Amino acid sequence: MQPVTGKVLVVGATGYIGHHLVSALLKPQHNVVATSRRFSRLQNQAWSSHPQLETRQVDLHNGDGLSHALDGVSTIYYLAHGMASGSDFYQYELDMAHHMASALSNSNVDRVIYLGATQPEGVSSTHLAARKATGNILRDSGKQIIEIRAGIVIGSGSAAFEVMRDIVSHLPIITAPATIQSQSRPIALETMIGYLMAAMSMPMEGSATFDASGPEVISYEDQMRRFARIIDKRVAIFKVPFLTPKMATRWLSIVTTVPKPIAQSLIHGLDYDLLPTGTDLSTQVSLPHISFEHAVESALANESDVVKNDIWGFDAEALARWHKGYGYYPKQAGFSVNTDATAHDLWQKIRHVGGDEGYFFGDSLWTLRAYMDAAVGGNALKKRRPDPESLKAGDYIDSWKVLRCEKNQHLSLLFGMKAPGLGRLEFTIVDHGEHRTLDIRAWWHPAGFLGLLYWFAMMPAHLFIFRGMAFSLAKKSGAKVITPSHR
C-alpha cells in the first residue's frame, strides 16, 4: 500500500459524497482539510469540531483560497461539480477544473482522486461531457489523477435515490417517460466510500481511470418497483412516450424536493443506459458485494442524519419529529434586503420577535395561522416570550423553539405548528462593512405529497410576508433599505 504522509484535502466536503467521506477519513485519524464555497456549511457539519480537521473556504469558480488550502496536502479528493449552478453548469465545471489544475501544477500534491461519471459509449450528454472534460483538465496539471467513474449511488442525499424515493413515496400512480427503462449498475454508498478510501493508498504509477459500479444491472423502473416493495407500498407505473424531458422536469419540481437543475440532469440521463465500459475498480480493490435491497435499507435506516447537524442545533425534538417520509432536500422561500442599519440594531429587533410584539409585518395573517393550528389541536395561540436579553437555544417563542441563537448574526426557530413536514424560520445578518444584508427565510422538509401541497399552498403568503418583514425590520432599526433582493 502507498503511505499517505501529508494532509488529505476534500474539495466539496459538504456535498452528498463529501460529508460521508470526511467522516470516514477522520476515523483512522487522517489529518483532513475540508473545503466549501460557503464556510457556514462547513461549520454546520457534525464533524466540524474534530481535532484532526481543518476547514477552509474555497471558491473554485474564481480560485479564491485554493492555493492556501493546498499547503501541506499530499492527497486530494476532488468531488466538486456544478449541476446546481443552472443551465451554464458545463462552463462552470470547466472553470473550476482549470483553477484546480493551475493550483495543482504549483503544489506538492502527490495524488488527486477525482470522482467523475460513468461514460457509456456513443452517448452525448452535457453532464457527462462536463465530467469527462474535468478529468482531462485535471490530468493536464501533470499530477497523478485517479479518476473513478460512477453512476447512481444508493444513499440518502443522492439525487437519483431521492427522486426515486419521493416519486414512489408520494404517488400511488406514477406517470414517467419511456426512458425509465434505461439500465445502470447502482452502487451502495458504503461501497462508494470504501473505493474512495482505498484509492488513497493503492500502489500505482501514473494516472488511471476506473469504473465503480454495483453488482447488478437494473433499470430505473425496476429500481422504483423494488424500492416500493422494501417500503411495503403498491405502485402502478405508466410509461408515457410523449412525456418530454422538459415536461418531466416540471413535474418533478412538484413531486420531489430534489433541486430542479439536478433533477433536470437526472431526467436527461435517463435517455441512455449508464453502463460502465472501462476497467472495473473491483479488479484492484476487493470489497463485499452489497445488493440493491441492502443498500436501500441501509439508506433508510440512516437518513435521520439530515437533522444531526448544527443547522438544526442537534435538537432532540427535531430529531424525534423526523421520519422517512420527509423530503431529504428542503424547499425554501424568503427575502433579503441590504440596509445601512448596524448588525446590533437589527439584532435588537429580531430578538423581540413573537409574543405580544408580533412578527413585524402581517400580524393578522400570523394570528389567522395560529387559529388554524389551534383548530387542529396545536398550541400556536399560546404566547411565550423569553427575556430577549438571555435568549438562547432551547427557549420557546410562542410555538417556535429556538434552535440556534448567535448574537448579531443568526436566529433559527423550529416550526412548532401542526403541518405535514418539518421546518424552520431563520433570520440571518451578514455584515459587509458598509452595509448589512438581512435575510428572512423559511426551510421546509415536506412529509409526502401532502407536505408538498402544503408548501405550494403557503408559498404566496410566504413571499408576501417575508418581504414585508424584511423591509419592516430594517425600517424599525432606524435605517434605510439600500437594495432589496428576493432570492
Name the more confident of 83 and 313: 313
Report pLDDT for 70: 93
Residue range 231-279, pLDDT digits in tens: 898 889 988 877 776 777 777 777 778 777 777 777 777 778 889 989 9
Distance CA(106)–CA(134), nearest Å, equals: 18
Using an 8 Å Cβ cutoff, are 227 and 159 in contact? Answer: no
Is residue 129 over pLDDT 60?
yes
User: Is residue 227 a contact partner of residue 169, using CB atoms and an 8 Å limit?
Assistant: no
Residue with the bigger pLDDT between 379 and 413: it is 413
Q: Pick the more confident residue, 16 or 193.
A: 193
Q: Give how far Cα 324 sits from Cα of 160, 289, 436, Å.
A: 16, 25, 38
Percent of the chain with pLDDT over 90: 54
Least-confidence region, from 5-9, 55-59, 247-251, 413-417: 247-251
Q: How far apart are CA 419 and CA 331, in angstroms?
A: 14
Distance of CA 285 to the CA centre of its chain: 29
Q: Give the model's pLDDT for residue 83.
A: 65
Set out the domains of the chain in order of their start, with CATH numbers. Answer: 7-306 (3.40.50.720), 330-485 (3.30.530.20)
Digit-coded pLDDT (tens) for 203-236: 999 999 999 999 999 999 999 999 999 989 888 9
pLDDT of 383 above 50: yes
Quote the pLDDT of residue 413. Answer: 96
Enumerate the β-bridge partners of residue 337.
438, 484
**pLDDT reading at 1 higher than 50:** no
| Residues 191-204 pLDDT 10s | 999 999 999 999 99
The arithmetic mean of pLDDT across residues 415-431, rounded, is 95
Q: Looking at residues 75-85, what average pLDDT do you find?
A: 83
Averaged pLDDT score across all residues of the chain: 88
Whether 487 has a pLDDT exceeding 60, the answer reads: no
Query: Which pLDDT value is given to residue 427?
Result: 97
Local confidence band at 84 (pLDDT 50, 70, 90 cut-offs): low
Q: What angle do CA 336, 339, 344 make, to 5 degrees?
A: 100
| Contact call for residues 422 and 326 (beta carbons, < 8 A) | yes
Per-residue model confidence (pLDDT) at position 86: 59
Mean pLDDT in residue range 71-92: 83
pLDDT tens digits, one per residue of 136-175: 999 999 999 999 999 999 988 888 888 888 888 878 788 8
Predicted local confidence at residue 157, as pLDDT: 82
Share of the chain above pLDDT 70, in %: 97
Mean of pLDDT values over 307-321: 87
